[in-house]
Structure 1
């Protein structure tokens, strides 16, 4: 991703809408719902929504990018719907980013810049999703990933090429940007700045109209603000769980199966002997015989080995077969013929002449079929259970493919069919506070929100333990709630809006009194309604920085951006009222010439300046190439995506 696209990152939807550039190619293949349809409502897939220079941006590309952006946002907010995404300006931002992409590419090509096949191939090879099991690029993995997303090699190469051209054009513009140390010192000194003032709040509730709106007023307000009343998509999920109960009769081990398993593993249950040794391997038989004689005469095995210039090694819990495999059958014979504590006869292998002391002998009694029957039965039962569950899931999938309904399959298998209440994509029960879907069906929730209605599937809900056959029994699309169903909420919002307008007028009156010399307390008290007392502020920017992990209140942020002796108003969110901010005094703190804050400010502001250069260059490219929007086509795409007619 081109990190220097500051304007992209500052937008409401951040990285989600910058689908066009290099880094998000990999994301495109992780997504599961990339639109690839050719006709959108009344808009043909090839109809342009914008022209940049001589290049067209088709409606198909806009829809595809909007869907991909929504998919990305849904990873953090599963309940986000396309109407809500568009109501918040998502479609416009997606189109703006597409226009920026095309502007950069066409400008670069106009002046002879290009991204060659070898460079694009290099970028493709670096994308992890295109690698095989050995970690290297796999043509099969590449083709499968493209096929899964309905993309062509040409589309992917064009997208990567656009990103590479953007790098060639924009990196030089931002690279090495810096500001003078004297300017950085001025900004750094702001960190020591202290501000004193007051913040007043005029709540909308204090200015509510006395009467409810008329039917006409309410209808007009509702139509103008439909986006505020959008309900999320919700689905009723019908499902039936099946696990061990459904296959109990088929997984009981038979006597024949237990006996056969015993015979297959007879060696495992036979009597066995393992031994531990201290051994020495020497080049000649004479040397081995000399060592054996000295140890047999009472000398220390380790001391004799050391005197001869060798080092003894130990072998723990070795079977005859292991010694035969590592040395030779003759060595194994010698090692296992000797008594515990004895020295073995020198015996030759490919490594040399072996001589060893038998340190320990451990024997295990054999176990009969009767002794291991329960152990074998448990193992066989578990193996049959796992196989039977997988087989049953496969059989149900085959029956679904053949057209059988979930209800018919459940009745045939004796499964209990259940229905959830309407649930949203984040697992919440629609219309409740804090109530969520049952844990037993939660693992398939994401899949259930990608399915068509009454198209059952099978999914694992507890790994190795249980499965579910499930379907979306009813789908209610995301849309604005009918006015009749939410009349009280709309009336409340209308009153808030009206109260906010009155609060704004009151804020203007308070500002006039402040500019006339009144204090904040007196300016607020002059209102005919009772409002909260003003909050006195006496903070430094350093105090503000300590709140970095918390959201700094907007009126406080405004106070630290105003000129001394000024007053301003600020609207609260959701029509809740208006703030009035009054800045009385600014005191600049002292800062030494070698304060490390200066170097930090110089570095950070250099990055900011570089990003600003990039932003301005992109704007200049757009103006140079020329951009024409087709509002009719854009509106048609918007209607199709929101389901409007």
Structure 2
């Protein structure tokens, strides 16, 4: 059950509760035994809980196992710095401390687990079942080997975990979320609201008299940071990536149809062919005689589904999924299952799991993507492959030209290439009009290098992921500065008008909402304001916004029934609305996924109860951490513990 501490963190409610629980444990961890924390430790002791010690090796092994599990789940590497930043090291230590405390409590209470119960528990673990759905000694041993475990060690850990679960179950069995909490959750997920509304367009703000220079200058001074010109640099740039070179070479010497066809035929079978797939069911029999008897029934007209029902098997026992012939591990079973017509059954087949009969439920035929559909893709791949072979040679020639003192532009020209000159680019890659500049190759790396360089510096080329390079020269630097009012007057005028329009609309929408609250009708307001159409939306929920913006949705649920409000629209207008109805349906497991949310809350309550119990238990037993060894095994500086 302690594993639920980790599983519960996958949901938003679980994450909130787990943040509190883990923070509680970590804060407690920070205050344990301050007066004695430097005394009473052996040379190989990281922490002590009561009479039990936690060694650095025990921590490292558990930490590495947890880190590997997380990396597999997220399918990416997690660095030591990231792991420390996320508190994984502290969570692992907290878990080891809590496990140790619960182990000692189980011993004090005289709890025990028989060998038979332990064996049944392991045999029921899905991780150790073979393809036939039964416990497999071979799979069991392989799993232990893959995780670096011995059988004796695994049995001991499993027994200890079961005893800890006995304590936790005694604490948490029967805990249910309070009714008030369920009502809050139900209201959040399932409350439905209806609104009437009108949209005030930007034109509803009316016209403005032309602002005076004094007004514009006042606005300019109040928002001067908006009109600061960033640093711009003028650069010469030569991008030599495989893709760029491929385009140049293809214009001069296109890939031929014969080359394309040859490449297609060479890889067609494994790249452009989707092999036949079949949905396969399998019944495994205890012996050949039983399989023959079942085959006779099938031959006599009994269906495979009836045979499954007769043997009281579940889909988990029979379904092998939708697979290719190569995807079935048992070659004998694969050959038989793909030799029969779709919908047919095989004769008894001796597989690695015993005698079996297989059923080809349905078939997805082999599909070959025709050449005409991917001709352009193949031509592009061939051109890039050709270019990659030439990249190194051209790179060396450019470097030779540079070593001879030539500029980027002249070096490119000498080799029949062309460099581009960018008159002004800022650190974000935009020109003076704020438009992104294309053709930089690797924008992030190039911009970083360009703005770290200076005029006249002989820069190293920026290496690209495909083995290419990007050369650049900084030709001029226009430093960042505050622009004058005269330089940006036109822009200031546009901004002033936009701000005035937005403020007028806000004031007007707020005033209209107040009139609605005072008893005016939305129809009357709409008529007096230019015959705006009144619209209606029903059954708005927090999970089904009916297209409303996040801000408007929040406003709708923040207003009482019968009250009005307003919010902005994406195009700069305003919506004025009135909440006409609100319904909170009774609590029901059939609405949304309320049963799942309730289960999450039960898990969170159980985890909170367990955390409090463990904290008190650790305090009673006495828990101390060796800070020097902790710093060594966690790799964190002392000021970051």
The two structures have a TM-score, normalised by structure 2, of 0.41
Structure of greater Rg: 1
